[in-house]
Structure 1
Amino acid sequence: MILSNKEKFPHVFFNEYDKVNRCGVFTEIDRIIYSEETPYQNIDIYETPAFGKLFALDGVIMTRDLDEYIYHEMISHVPLFLHREPKNVLVIGGGDGGTVREVLKHPSVEKVMLCEIDKTVIEAAKKYLTNISYELNNPKVEIYYEDGSKFVSNFTNYFDVIIVDSTDPMEGEGKSLFTKDFYRHCFEALKEDGVFSAETEEPFLKKEWMVKAYNLIKSVFNITKLYMGYVPQYQPGVWTWTFASKNIDPIKDFDSQKVRNFEKELKYYNEEIHVASFSLPNFVKRMIQEI
């Protein structure tokens, strides 16, 4: 949602407003870089004085230059460092390219399939979010413009890692990535030593979706663990993801030495963060009935 009165105010303001919880954030912007309505959603990219470029879908912040690395590192490196040698990776959603960028920091990765339903998102990211999207042109990346819930159902025992970097489930296409059928297809598409991660919302404003997603994933996978991180770009400043696998435990099977020996830049994630992220506060444990 844009609030603008150029005659009275020298700036335009971006407003992210949560209609359900009646709360929002306001960000001063310098200019609107790009705006388009597609068959799936409204895409907006802004230049802001505080956060650099800011990318929004249907008025909701998806990513921004200043701190996007936190979310992208946490959804990517937690599962990737738990696999012995990830080669084939599937990213569902994530059209801005940030997750693909982090995946390709791992030298063992030979192929990344990116499944994004809205082609315009990727085109806009390539043109305007170049510090996030630059790996989308990597020859290791194959891009498919399809519904991720249907796309993954075409594979069996194929992927080493599946990462679900979806939009919020409140409206539209995002809901299809928060179903038991979808998570079961992901389970079947993974190899026996495959690992999985998905964004699963946060425990304050969207706690019902967090609990629902976690319980659905847990009903399908042998090992399921919720983990948390500090993500200031999303209300209310914390976020959760869910790790899942057929037989790999995210703590018992974690080799911290692999992280210490990693040669590529990591701005947020490290071996201490990995372990700590699975240490949940009591109120979250109660939500997912782990206490």
Structure 2
Amino acid sequence: MELWYTEKQTENHGITTKITKTLHTEQTEFQKLDIIETKQFGRMLVLDGMVMTTDVDEFVYHEMIVHIALNTHPNPKKVLVVGGGDGGAIREILKHPEVEKAVLAEIDGRVIETSKEFFPQIGGKLTDPRVDVQVVDGIKHIHDHIGTYDVIMVDSTEPVGPAVGLFEKGFYQGIYDALKEDGILVAQTESPWFNADLIRRVFADIKSIFPIARLYTVSIPTYPSGLWSFTLGSKKHDPLQVEDSQLKDLDTKYYSPRIHKSVFQLPKFVEDLVK
């Protein structure tokens, strides 16, 4: 008998993949957490029925939420990740030697612990001495740390359940206040195919708060539609104006100095969302 896992991504569309076994399942305080073994993508972390990360394609998301911002900011010493309990963003942040402290603010401690156990290649850097792991509401953390961070990354789940507040204008204003005078925000902002209204709204909110707002896209096969977006808000530094000599050539699989500016060249239907 064959076993298949299907994520219903919209009311009319889903993605399905063949699995061999369920490695772990539990109901945490905040969400349903499952870890399954798939034939195509290796181990897969699923929260409330939605794919969060996999062994095979995780590097795309984690590299691209991190390195655009950290290669744009000239001296990012203190960085915050809101969400991101799997630890992948933290792993990428630590590739930048100028970062002195990387703070993880994840509301669900069970995501952190199971990721360290089942995805050591993703969450294995959470014990690094430069990392401060806090099981805390990211919204509260933001409001308690005014003027603290050089870069803040919002590595959230989809805008349902505990992550709803991470897509609201008040949250982005809180991030602006928690950033230093030349700080940068980057947030995952879903699929242009399935979440056009959300992208349009979030981009408008960030643009109304930050002097510089940019949308960029990447290809992630296990995320809805495969085309994924990130929105960057900056107080001072523009990722399109950064000197090429400032773009560090890191140990990466997707990000490179050559791709840094090219991801901001949007398909016209995506460009129209942010006009």
Indicate the TM-score class for this superposition, using the shorter chain for normalisation. over 0.9
Structure 2 portions without partners, runs of 5+? none
Structure 1 portions without partners, runs of 5+? 1-8
Whether contact under 8 Å (2:43, 2:54) holds in the other structure is: yes
Corresponding residue of 1:54: 44
1:210 Cα deviation from its structure 2 partner: 1.4
| Cα distance in structure 2, aligned partners of 1:257 and 1:65 | 32
Corresponding residue of 2:8: 17
Residue in structure 2 matching 1:279, options 252, 259, 265: 265
Residue in structure 2 matching 1:191, options 180, 194, 202: 180
1:97 Cα deviation from its structure 2 partner: 0.5
Corresponding residue of 1:83: 73
Whether contact under 8 Å (2:17, 2:38) holds in the other structure is: yes
Whether contact under 8 Å (2:7, 2:15) holds in the other structure is: yes
Residue in structure 1 matching 2:197, options 176, 200, 208: 208
Corresponding residue of 2:98: 108
Corresponding residue of 2:20: 30
1:272 Cα deviation from its structure 2 partner: 2.1
Question: What is the one-letter code of the residue matched to 1:179?
Answer: E
Deviates more, 1:276-285 or 1:107-116: 276-285
Question: What is the one-letter code of the residue matched to 1:17?
Answer: K
1:258 Cα deviation from its structure 2 partner: 3.3
| Residue-by-residue CA offset, 1:103-127 (whole Å, 9 max, x unaligned) | 0000011111100000100010011
Question: What is the one-letter code of the residue matched to 1:255?
Answer: E
| Cα distance in structure 1, aligned partners of 2:202 and 2:26 | 30
How many residues align structurally? 275
Corresponding residue of 2:228: 239
Matched, 1:255 2:246: no
| Cα distance in structure 2, aligned partners of 1:58 and 1:255 | 42
**Residues 99-248 of structure 1 aligned to structure 2 (within 5 Å):** 99-169=89-159, 171-248=160-237
Whether contact under 8 Å (2:82, 2:104) holds in the other structure is: yes
Corresponding residue of 1:5: none
| Residue-by-residue CA offset, 1:139-189 (whole Å, 9 max, x unaligned) | 1111111211121011121101101000100x2111100111110110011
| Residue-by-residue CA offset, 1:2-25 (whole Å, 9 max, x unaligned) | xxxxxxx1x32111112x432111
SS at match of 1:272: coil
Question: What is the one-letter code of the residue matched to 1:168?
Answer: E
Question: What is the one-letter code of the residue matched to 2:215?
Answer: L
| Cα distance in structure 2, aligned partners of 1:216 and 1:177 | 12
SS at match of 1:136: coil
1:273 Cα deviation from its structure 2 partner: 1.2
SS at match of 2:260: helix
| Cα distance in structure 2, aligned partners of 1:21 and 1:210 | 19
Corresponding residue of 1:93: 83
SS at match of 1:30: strand
| Cα distance in structure 2, aligned partners of 1:51 and 1:42 | 21
1:74 Cα deviation from its structure 2 partner: 0.6
Question: What is the one-letter code of the residue matched to 1:208?
Answer: D
| Cα distance in structure 1, aligned partners of 2:271 and 2:16 | 32
1:214 Cα deviation from its structure 2 partner: 1.2
- Percent same amino acid among aligned pairs? 41
| Cα distance in structure 2, aligned partners of 1:50 and 1:121 | 23
Q: Which runs of 4+ in 1 moved over 2 A?
A: 255-259
Question: What is the one-letter code of the residue matched to 1:15?
Answer: T
Question: What is the one-letter code of the residue matched to 2:162?
Answer: E
Question: What is the one-letter code of the residue matched to 1:281?
Answer: P
Q: CA RMSD in A?
A: 1.1
Whether contact under 8 Å (1:21, 1:205) holds in the other structure is: no
